[in-house]
Structure 1
Amino acid sequence: MRAAARRLEGAFTLLAVDSEQPHVVVGARRNSPLVVGLGEGRTSSAPTWWRSSSTPAPRSSLGQDEVVEITPEAVIVTDAHGAVIEREPYHVDWDAAAAEKGGFATFMEKEIYDQPAAVADTLRGRLDDRGRLKLDEGMVDEYILKSIDKIIIIACGTASYAGQVARYAIEHWTRIPVEVELSHEFRYRDPIVSVKTLVVAVSQSGETMDTIMAVRHAQQQGATVIGIVNAQGSTIAREADAVLYTRAGPEIAVASTKAFLAQITAGYLLGIYLAEPAGQQVPRRDRRTPGGARRHPRQDSAGPRHLGAHP
């Protein structure tokens, strides 16, 4: 498997078995995800299982050009040349009920009703001991955040629409210009990116190939990357400098609803997170919407604030 993977180019996930060793499975990946799920105790009575998509179980996601050997006794991860890699598993906080309809006629209807919980989960536990917002994984030095003079949001499809909404909040609170780019066009238009550019990669799965390649291109130009993703251990989550998880749970319906709203929520959180190093204050009760349109005074008591001027 290692010898074959070294000769291949492009994107692939490979899995192989040998009839003479039926209890051994080997796999390799490059630019495509491969997730290993771990059974209780990793013994033959509770065997290891794996699959290439998200699963509600303790799991470990392979890195770029890594090879995994799975037996009833152990899971061994190596690099392309055979050196053993220690990889800590992590637990996905989804239960089986999250992927069931729960009495609703369709998954889309269920996920619409799941939106309040998805927003609450995305907001929960975001403050550190000093009352400041924190990211889920990684960190960006404050001196880097203070030097940022441009923010680029890269995403595809629905995630790009969430970026369009978040753009208003981020610009409003940070006073830093924000661009929203489609990931599949980003690399090909020779974008102006520097060490003073912050790139925000938005993806539900964290495995959107165009967005992954855009992230790598931005990092090659010296940009700092923050990922807004839903899937723990995904490629974007691992390769970004820092991560903000949306915590929307599994998305079964094709039409994105709760994931879209959770991405907007995370975008607003990121705007507040970036505002303090930029020297801006975010009032507890802002009299203007992020889109800049002044609300009617009655809206404060009549109901929740609208999202502002989304095109």
Structure 2
Amino acid sequence: MCGIVGYIGQQGAAGILVNGLRSLEYRGYDSAGVALSDPQDGFRIIRASGKLVNLAGKVDLTDPTPLGIGHTRWATHGRPTEENAHPHRSGDGQVVAVHNGIFENFLELRAELKAAGESFRSETDTECFPVMVSHLMKGGRGFREAFREAVGRMKGIYALACLHASDKNRILAARSGPPLVLGLGEGETFLASDVVPLLPHTRRVIFLEDGDLVELTREGARIFRLDGSEVQRQVHTIPYDPVAAEKGGYKHFMQKEIFEQPQALSNTLLNRLPLDGEAIPLDLPFTDRDLADLTRIHIVACGTSWHAGLVGKFLIEQLSRVAVEVDYASEYRYREPVVQPGTLIVGITQSGETADTLAAMKEAAIRGARTLAICNVMGSTATRQSEATILTHAGPEIGVASTKAFTTQLAVLTLLALKLGEAKGTLDPRLKAELLQGLRELPAHLERLNALEPKIVQWAHRWKDATDFLYLGRGPCYPIALEGALKLKEISYIHAEGYPAGEMKHGPIALIDKTLPVVALMPKDAHREKTLSNLQEAAARDGRILALVTEGDTGLAGIAEDVLELPAIHPWLAPIVYAVPLQLLAYHIAVLRGCDVDQPRNLAKSVTVE
């Protein structure tokens, strides 16, 4: 949520800031603004509510001013108005700041500052920070000292960037929770909430740690801690090509990312599929003995990643016989989880910055669990605070509704289940060979799904005006029913629910009538006959059944109104194949309904606050 961009160098900052904010739109926002250093007036602050285009229309993108900060805001304290948009300035106009996160003690600080004679213009928690810095400087402190002391007064989570009118040679920033990344150029330095805004300018980046404060100058950056001590952080070279973050001729990023899944899966599986009975090469810091000694696995995640975890539970328990719990990360640390010796916690997060998932992993680690992150972003907080990481290598995912990150998470979980099964001695060699061959064939199967898009577009035209959907699945496809329903809700705003097919008669069957589309996932697996029986019950109550089946399965004739035949695949890999048509169905229904597919209302790509 929210996005920060900062620049100090030789180029005009205005265009860099606005274009950088444009690449952060996926994070979710409701207003935006920039502050540009001005030699006469201190700062020019330009803000607008609504979409970034409203701000861009106010900013001279050719402005040569070489210093500035920008922000896209997700409203938490105060309405999404221009007055509450960032940047915020102090009462004397000398200090400006942008902020991601929440200052939990802002009411106390606001009261303290008002009692000292300071004034406020907005309803936000953020404004107390530049006012506090200015107030401390009036007491004789320098900019850096006042900034550091103000940071120490803030309680909560934050990413901050701050400027002072009389200091044209530096940006001060701090991180405690939401991500901040430095970009190192030649004679210029960048700051952003993600690597994507930095890629057109540099691939040399530093990921700030919690508790880091940083001074950005044209020559580079100095990182220090709250006590003033200087620290060094690793410089990473990011392999992403900036072109990968562009739409590449597709109408929306989400559509592009759906069709990138064959390549994304190929990248995920590269060098991880052994031949001739070799061990799964996951490059983990755990020995086979460490893995064999595991007695329980806790998977924590949010949203789509939680659905991936549910599929992972099925795979890990089947292949390794290790008991798996899957928790919403937002609930995990508040239920006093029982973490016994031999517990591994697996955090699944696309961005590596999801606040709830990070907090859950930290809680489990404190209680003695080993830690593993499944993540898409090298150098993110999740990868740095975990003992082990398996990167999904999905590439940049800009659309808020996750697609390729989800299917690559499923592929990684399959590999992890195989690895655990090897270590535990529970993995049948024949089954291992079947699954590895199925993984090799997956990218080609997903390529074949492209040809089904015209059929899915027909479904979208037929069902775009429905007010409710019911998704049904069994076994490892039950979480895919949940995911399909979530995708439809997220981007088309149609109410949808996912259920295990066997649970239909325990409640949802009351909703079935001739207006309700029932999307059924029915691969040829051990659950097929039971699912068919459930669908017959739905058809008997006039339910409008849309079925996804294995090629050649004609058993739904006379029951389903529409049937989509999908490539035959090992049943335990079916979730990856069956997820893609549901992504396309949600996408095309949303487009036909005129929805903002890449930036659905009220949602953010990286949820960095609780």
Q: Smaller-chain TM-score range?
A: 0.7 to 0.9
- Among 209, 223, 231, the alignment partner of 2:355 is 209
Distance 1:214 1:246 in 2: 21
Normalising by structure 2, we get a TM-score of: 0.46
Specify which of 174, 195, 199 is matched with residue 54 of structure 1: 195
Q: Is 1:177 matched with 2:323?
A: yes
Q: What CA distance in whole angstroms lies between the structure 2 residues aligned with 1:53 and 1:309?
A: 33
In the TM superposition, what is the alpha-carbon distance from 1:145 to its structure 2 partner? 1.9
1:162–1:124 distance in 2 versus 1, CA, 3 Å? same
Aligned to 1:192: 338
**C-alpha contact 2:250 2:256 (8 A) present in aligned 1:** yes
Residue 125 of structure 1 and its aligned partner are, at CA, apart by 2.4
Q: Distance in 1 between matches of 2:329 and 2:256?
A: 30
Cα distance in 2 for partners of 1:251, 1:185 equals 26
Distance 2:574 2:150 in 1: 53
Are 1:233 and 2:379 matched, yes or no? yes
Query: Given the alignment of the two structures, is residue 285 of structure 1 paired with residue 434 of structure 2, yes or no?
Result: yes
Superposed CA deviations along residues 57-104 of structure 1, whole A, max 9, x for unmatched, are: 221111110111111112111222122212121122211221111111
2-structure distance, mates of 1:269, 1:67: 38
Give the whole-Å Cα distance in 1 for the aligned partners of 2:328 and 2:156: 22
Aligned to 1:147: 293
The correspondence for 2:160, drawn from 6, 10, 14, is: 14
**How far is 1:123 from its partner?**
0.8
**Aligned with 1:104 (options 250, 262, 286):** 250
Structure 1 residues without counterparts, runs of 5 or longer: none
Aligned CA-pair RMSD: 2.7
Asked if the contact 2:213–2:225 (Cα under 8 Å) also holds between the matched residues in 1, the reply is yes
Question: Secondary structure of 1:140's partner?
Answer: coil
Tell me the secondary structure at the aligned position of residue 423 of structure 2. coil
Identical pairs, percent: 35
- The answer to which structure, 1 or 2, has the higher relative contact order (CA under 8 A, 6+ apart) is 1
Q: In 2, Cα distance between the equivalents of 1:19 and 1:109?
A: 44
State the distance in 1 between where 2:433 and 2:156 align: 49
Secondary structure at the aligned position of 1:276 is classed as helix
Corresponding position of 2:460: none
Structure 2 CA distance, aligned partners of 1:286 and 1:125? 16
For 2:348, the aligned partner's letter is V
Shift of 1:156: 0.3
Task: Indicate which of 416, 419, 424 corresponds to 1:273.
Answer: 419
Which secondary structure does the structure 1 equivalent of 2:298 belong to?
strand
Query: Residues of 2 paired with 1:75 and 1:149: CA distance?
Result: 45
CA offsets, 1:155-212, max 9 Å, x none? 0000001111122111111111111110011111121112311111000011111111
Pairs aligned (count): 300
SS at match of 2:209: coil
TM-score (norm 1): 0.88
Q: Which runs of 4+ in 1 moved over 3 A?
A: 130-136, 289-296, 306-310
Q: Cα–Cα, structure 1 residues 5 and 266, in superposed 2: closer, same or farther, change >3 Å?
A: same
Of the structure 1 ranges 6-15 and 229-238, higher mean CA displacement relative to structure 2 is found in: 6-15
Which residue is 1:262 aligned to?
408
After superposition, what is the alpha-carbon deviation per residue over 1:106-153, rounded to whole angstroms, capped at 9, x for unaligned?
Answer: 22211111000111111112379x9533446x6124433222111111
Task: Decide whether the 8 Å contact of 2:435 with 2:570 is kept in 1.
Answer: no
Superposed displacement of residue 237, structure 1: 0.8
* In structure 2, distance between residues paired with 1:237 and 1:214: 14
* Residue ranges of structure 2 left out of the alignment (5+ in a row): 1-146, 439-474, 478-524, 529-550, 553-566, 576-610
Q: Distance in 2 between matches of 1:73 and 1:131?
A: 49
Aligned counterparts, 1:296-311, within 5 A: 303-307=568-572
C-alpha separation between the residues in 2 aligned to 1:243 and 1:156?
A: 18
Corresponding residue of 1:133: 280
Code of the aligned partner of 2:163: V
Whichever residue aligns with residue 299 of structure 2, its letter is I
Q: CA deviation at 1:15?
A: 1.1
* Cα distance change on mapping 1:309 and 1:189 into 2, 3 Å: farther
Question: How far, CA to CA, are the matches of 1:151 and 1:278 in structure 2?
Answer: 14
Question: Structure 1 residues 271, 235: closer, same or farther in 2, change over 3 A?
Answer: same
> Structure 1: how far apart are the matches of 2:248 and 2:574?
35
Q: Which amino acid aligns with 1:284?
A: A
Larger radius of gyration: 2
Decide whether the 8 Å contact of 1:167 with 1:179 is kept in 2. Answer: yes
Q: Which has the higher helix share?
A: 2
Q: How does 1:44-83 map to 2 (within 5 A)?
A: 44=187, 47-55=188-196, 56=199, 57-83=203-229
Residues 235/20 of structure 1: CA separation in 2 closer, same or farther (3 Å cut): same
